[in-house]
Amino acid sequence: TKKPPVLQSFLSLVSRRASHLARQQYDVIVVGGGHAGTEAAAAAARVGAETLLVTQKTNTIGALSCNPSLGGVGKGHLVKEVDALDGLCGRAGDWAGIHFSILNRSKGPAVWGPRAQLDRQRYREFIQSELLSTPRLTVLEGSVEELLVTEPNPEEPGHHRVTGIHLANGSHPILASSVILTTGTFLSGSLFVGQTTSPGGRIGDAPSSAGLSHTLRERLGLRIGRLRTGTPPRIVKDTVDLSLTNLHPPDSHPTPFSFLNTHTRCKPEEQLPCYLTHTTPGVDRVVRESLHLNCHIQQDTKGPRYCPSIESRVLRFPGRRHQVWLEPEGLNSDLLYPQGLSMTMPPDVQLRLIREIPALHRAEIHTPGYGVQYDFVCPTQLSPALQVKSTQGLFLAGQINGTTGYEEAAAQGLWAGVNAARSALSMPPVALSRTESYIGVLIDDLVSRGVTEPYRMFTSRAEFRTSLRPDNADLRLTLKGRCVSSLRYQEAVRVRDGLQDALAALQTLTLSTHLWRKKLPDIGISESKSTILTGMDLLQYNNVSFEMLASVFPECLSPYMEFSQRLNIEAVYRPHCDLQKKEIERIQKEENMTLPQDIDYFSLPVSLSQEVREILDRVRPSTLGAATRLQGMTPAAVVNLLRYVQHTG
């Protein structure tokens, strides 16, 4: 199909930029232009590093390999946090979103999941244009063949330093102090459809070179594992009988992801619906009958438990009816994405399978589903800055660390970008604690616990989720100011000051219960005795909103109307967050107790079992806090380690 003029001009700009002969020396090189790589490159440049992004095809920068959607429960929190740190994906989502909804609305706002269906083309356009206008960032089309690393230092056996990259076209090496690998599903990638296997990182794209895997495995001695995932066939919309589905409209008022946006590009009335349908016993039958033709499903590598293929759903839950969401792929796209029907059987069997669903009984497939298997690096070999512990200057982010999903990739990419730039500019690394962000939870889970199957974010992974809410990500993160523009910083300061003033105004608004009852007769104040209540106390009542209080006390509260929703949420969670403060302080104290990376755990003169010593030696947690969260650590071992740290520290 012909590309629209806007995208055409973006692409020609990208290739013009790419065709400039790259310099030979950068502060930071990012390998891969997916969700991790684009955030990493933009963040490194924002921190002040001269940055090069090298990717196989510039026109796939920002491509959504699988589902055309962003956010959701847990994932939406990551998007808000990436945005708060001035990353790209939140603003890209606001630009490209065509169906916005807040998931989990029946629960408290701390676990709401902002989500949007995206127009694939608009998403790519936005990411590409942002990168092109980022100062200090050069984009180069090319495939990285090899990492340049020094031989291990004889004084520090096993410790290498990265010095740059070699491109597959055999051109000169390009040098850098830091290199970030974000190769996604491409590292030794193989694609599977039916009984056919071919090398590839994604349909239409070659895998990452064998040289790169070889360097990681053989020269750097990293432990590498293998994971798999898959994607559904894309279906021609006109061939679907939508009258046999349930219509799922978007929210009538789209809520933007970005703290900088007050509205989305797509107007409320322009949004497109999704459609819900279900599998039938016929689908189960086709899956079972075709298992012998489906080599992806017969492989032993771990697939995503949380985005499983239709084959694994049928095998795990025989006879169950499974949901299938038919989601738009774009405003002008004539395709639907059938979420829930990821499959890898031969294309003719895929067609037979989808036609077992009444709404799809005459459906045509545009592109068949397929599976991909790829190498990942066991992430316990990384520091909390996402640097490979044994290789100075080498950072990893995204699916290469065993995660799945755009949001998880973007979050790691941003943080690796910040730290790679800081390392190149001789600044100390920075870490995000799990007490202050979902990004901190994600990174801590990866580097302390590792992964045995593709990792995705859930709100249940965060211990302090009432404090780590989507609505307050800017207050938690933007003001740390490590990689944000002054425009965003100033906006966060304005919001913080406004909220503080509003909270002070609510606190000073004190009336007796008797007077409150007179002013707000309908709210049913429960205190029987006469007592003094503040506006903040009142806001904690279920049926009281800031808007209500402002209508009664307009002089003192109406200046803060723009913060009304945030104040309503803050009031609900404040008592609980106050209670959590002590626990957060304890964890932060433990996080500040660092464990030297060169400890010989086998000769440590404290009482630790052999098993615990082995775990500590393998993972080498960087703090006492990280050690306490390792699988297999006992409370007694933690106490003994604490005594050791206190004694030596």
Upper half-sphere CA count for residue 316 (Cβ side, 13 Å): 10
Nearer to ligand FAD, 65 or 419 (CB): 65
Contact between 56 and ligand FAD per CB under 6 A: yes
CA-CA distance, 149 to 445, in Å (whole number)? 28
Least distance (Å) between residue 579 CB and ligand FAD? 34
- Shortest Å distance, C-beta 217 to ligand FAD: 15
Q: Look at the block and give the residue holding tokens 């989500």.
A: 115
If the CB atoms of residues 143 and 448 are measured against ligand FAD, the closer one turns out to be 143
Residue 346 corresponds to which tokens in the numbers above?
Answer: 């031969």
> Between 31 and 73, whose beta carbon lies closer to ligand FAD?
31
Rounded alpha-carbon distances, angstroms, from residue 584 to 280, 462, 641: 48, 12, 20
The alpha carbon of 628 is separated from its chain's Cα centroid by a whole number of angstroms, namely: 25
Query: Residue 275, interface with ligand FAD (CB under 6 A)?
Result: no
Note whether 264 binds ligand FAD by CB under 6 A. Answer: no
Q: Single out the segment in contact with ligand FAD by CB under 6 A; choices: 218-226, 403-411, 437-445, 633-641.
A: 403-411
**Residue 349 to residue 62: CA distance in whole angstroms:** 31
Q: Binding of ligand FAD at residue 208 (CB under 6 A)? A: yes
Site string for ligand FAD, 305-344 (x = CB under 6 A): --x----------------------------------x--
- Of 58 and 623, CB closest to ligand FAD: 58
How many Cα atoms sit within 13 Å of 221 on the Cβ side?
Answer: 9
CB of 173 to ligand FAD, least distance (A): 14
Count of residues near ligand FAD by CB under 6 A: 39
Please say whether the beta carbons of 466 and 573 come within 8 A: yes
Binding characters for ligand FAD, 525-564, by CB under 6 A (x = yes): ----------------------------------------
Provide, rounded to whole angstroms, the least separation between the CB of residue 186 and ligand FAD. 4
Q: Which is nearer to ligand FAD, 342 or 437 (CB)?
A: 342
C-alpha span between 101 and 121 (Å, rounded): 20
Which one, 182 or 433, has the nearer CB to ligand FAD? 182
> Cβ closer to ligand FAD: 349 or 557?
349
Q: Of 122-130, 177-185, 592-600, 631-639, which segment contacts ligand FAD by CB under 6 A? A: 177-185
Among 10, 33, 43, 279, binds ligand FAD (CB under 6 A): 33
Q: With left for phi above 0 and alpha for psi between -120 and 50, is residue 279 left, alpha or beta?
A: beta
**Location of structure tokens 């990452």:** 208
> For residues 215-244, which are near ligand FAD according to CB under 6 A?
229-231
Which residue's CB is nearer to ligand FAD, number 71 or number 304?
304
Q: Which is nearer to ligand FAD, 79 or 533 (CB)?
A: 79
Identity of the residue, 231 or 423, whose beta carbon is nearer to ligand FAD in the bound complex: 231
Nearer to ligand FAD, 344 or 433 (CB): 344
Cα–Cα distance for residue pair 406/351, rounded to 1 Å:
28
Residue 382 touches ligand FAD, criterion: CB under 6 A? no
Q: For ligand FAD, which is the closer residue by CB, 89 or 571?
A: 89
Could you give the residue ranges of the DSSP H alpha helices within 97-247?
120-132, 210-214
Strand pairing class (196-199; 190-193): antiparallel
447: amino acid identity, one letter: V
Q: Which of 42, 45, 212, 641 binds ligand FAD (CB under 6 A)?
A: 212
Q: Report the DSSP beta bridge partners of residue 510.
A: 534
Residue 57 has which token pair? 């095809």
Q: How far apart are CA 271 and CA 306, in angstroms?
A: 27
Nearest CA to 20 out of 141, 105, 117 is that of 141
For residue 277, list its beta bridge partners.
Answer: 324
**DSSP class of residue 577?**
H
Binder among 213, 333, 399, 478 for ligand FAD (CB under 6 A): 399
From candidates 134, 143, 271, 628, binder to ligand FAD by CB under 6 A: 143
Task: Tell me the three state secondary structure of residue 248.
Answer: strand
200 lines the binding site for ligand FAD (CB under 6 A): no
Q: What CA–CA distance (Å, rounded) separates 613 from 272?
A: 56
Contacting residues for 486 by C-beta, under 8 A, at least 6 apart: none
The single residue among 113, 164, 184, 379 that binds ligand FAD, judged by CB under 6 A, is 184
DSSP letter string, 436-481: T-HHHHHHHIIIII--SS-B---GGG-TTTTTS-GGGHHHHHGGG-
Tell me which of 129, 138, 209, 277 binds ligand FAD, using CB under 6 A: 209
How many Å separate Cα 581 from the centre of its chain?
A: 26
Is 37 near ligand FAD (CB under 6 A)?
yes
Q: Interface with ligand FAD by CB under 6 A: which residues?
A: 31-37, 54-56, 60, 65-66, 143-144, 182-186, 201-202, 205, 208-209, 212, 229-231, 304, 307, 342, 372, 398-399, 404-406, 409
